[in-house]
Amino acid sequence: MSRKANVIKVIIAQMPVGHNKEATVAHTLGEVRKAAKANPTAKLAILPESFNCPYGPEHFRKYSESVPNGPTCKALSNLAKELKIYIIGGSIMELDDNKVYNTSTIWGPSGEFIGRHRKIHLFAVDIRKENLGGCTFSEFTELTAGKDITTFEIEGRKFGVGVCHDIRFDELAKIYRMEGTEAMIYPAAFCVCQGPMHLKMLQQARAIDNGMFVGTVCCARDPTPEYVAWGHSMIVDPWGQTIAEAGEKEEVMMVDFDFTKVDEFRKQIPIFNQRRTDLYSLVYKKN
């Protein structure tokens, strides 16, 4: 059995999203290229949710493309191969059999397509909070939900992928943990209403509950559209400590995922050795 990496260096790319898909993709991947060349030991780059499409139901089908053969996928594949890194390609709108999915694609260092995660829990809220502006939004009008979990490994360390609203569902993170996942990544576009209220707390909860790294990689803030993203991409370690946080504007961060923290947490607080699956099954039967 090969030795697991202790530290994996990760590029976090909080990028703006424009209406010109080709230009947006070129800018985002150009910034990743700069960061990777300045940090040649980086193993993974992560992009935001809907990174090539303005976030709104009226845009989803128009900007959708096939996976893994569409133009954005080809650009991600080529960059992964060029830089010899893994890429979690945020998410794009995937068109398949006339259905549109909010899909994160994962690419290997030879440019190979190694997985996709179709957002399982579609985003639907009606928040009325005057001091934060409120938010009414639904993906259900245009998107179809996925149903599968998605994991992959880098140097013996297992990563899991969700998309934005998936982070609110603790049972999903628990399933990933039971599959051996050590870091959960959620490309995201939290709005300016729910972002300051819940984003950090949700990451801390998922991290501490499961003894893993939890990261959200978000869109940079643009105040002009109806839906305004919060920004503040963030990485939380297994102990619930924030180890990196972006501001609201375009920003690229280099973050070390020190997996010895995962090993230490799970050894020192072995909560998964005490799971009462009989009680869990009883609860689910009742609900």
Distance of alpha carbon 232 from alpha carbon 48, whole angstroms: 11
Helix or strand or coil: residue 159? strand
Q: Where are the alpha helices (DSSP H) in 95-193?
A: 170-178
How remote is the C-alpha of 8 from its chain's centroid?
17
**Tokens of residue 251, six digits:** 């920003």
How remote is the C-alpha of 227 from its chain's centroid?
19
68 upstream amide cis, omega within 30 of 0: yes
Residue of 65, 64, 60 whose CA lies nearest to 142: 60
How remote is the C-alpha of 97 from its chain's centroid?
25
List residues with catalytic annotation: 49, 119, 164
**Tokens of residue 3, six digits:** 């030795």
Residue type, 72: T
Helix or strand or coil: residue 35? helix
Residue of 239, 259, 114 whose CA lies nearest to 183: 259
Tokens 């998107």 locate to 143
Helix or strand or coil: residue 97? coil
Tokens 């960059």 locate to 79
